[in-house]
């Protein structure tokens, strides 16, 4: 192989490599791979949360409470109180969510009933499919 042909082939190879290094990331950005929507979720079994009870979990390092409301199904809410950030808990006797710091109270939809909390608790997406609960 002549030196000129070798250099031409080598430069063509480098040009192709450079082109691919720009086109491939752009294509991945425009056409991302499909991921399983349920892959990044916390999965519970329905029997893990009996009616009228709750379960505290962590989702992406965020504290979350899952409540099995009587006759209303499951709901997932952030446990971080919207007043000053204390962690709320489910009060089974009162059937509501209570903040132990300054006594804010929330209904089982996460809405403020009383106390200093300015906003409802953040609602976390939740899906129930057959016997499993997908949270996140």
Does residue 113 belong to the site contacting ligand FES (CB under 6 A)?
A: no
Within 3-135, strands assigned E span 42-45, 53-59, 62-69, 73-78, 89-91, 96-98, 105-106, 112-114, 123-124, 126-129, 132-135
Binding mask 62-81 for ligand FES (x = CB under 6 A): -------------------x
- Alpha-carbon distance 47 to 44, whole Å? 8
Residue from 41, 112, 115, 132 touching ligand FES (CB under 6 A): that is 115
* Residues 101, 84 contacting (CB under 8 angstroms): yes
Q: Is 99 in the site for ligand FES (CB under 6 A)?
A: yes
Cβ distance to ligand FES smaller for residue 82 or 133? 82
Provide the binding-site residues for ligand FES, judged by CB under 6 A: 81, 83-86, 99, 101-102, 104, 115-117
């Amino acid at each position: 192989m002549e030196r000129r042909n070798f250099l031409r082939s080598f430069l063509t190879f480098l040009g192709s490599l450079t082109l691919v290094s720009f086109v491939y990331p752009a294509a991945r950005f425009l056409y991302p791979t499909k991921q399983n929507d349920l892959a990044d979720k916390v999965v519970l079994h329905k029997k893990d949360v009996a009616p009228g009870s709750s379960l505290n979990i962590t989702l992406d390092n965020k504290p979350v409470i899952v409540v099995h409301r009587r006759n209303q199904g499951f709901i997932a809410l952030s446990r971080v109180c919207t007043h000053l950030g204390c962690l709320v808990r489910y009060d089974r006797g009162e059937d509501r969510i209570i903040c132990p710091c300054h006594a804010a109270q929330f209904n089982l939809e996460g809405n403020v009933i009383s106390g200093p909390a300015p906003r409802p608790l953040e609602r976390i997406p939740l899906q129930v499919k057959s016997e499993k609960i997908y949270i996140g």
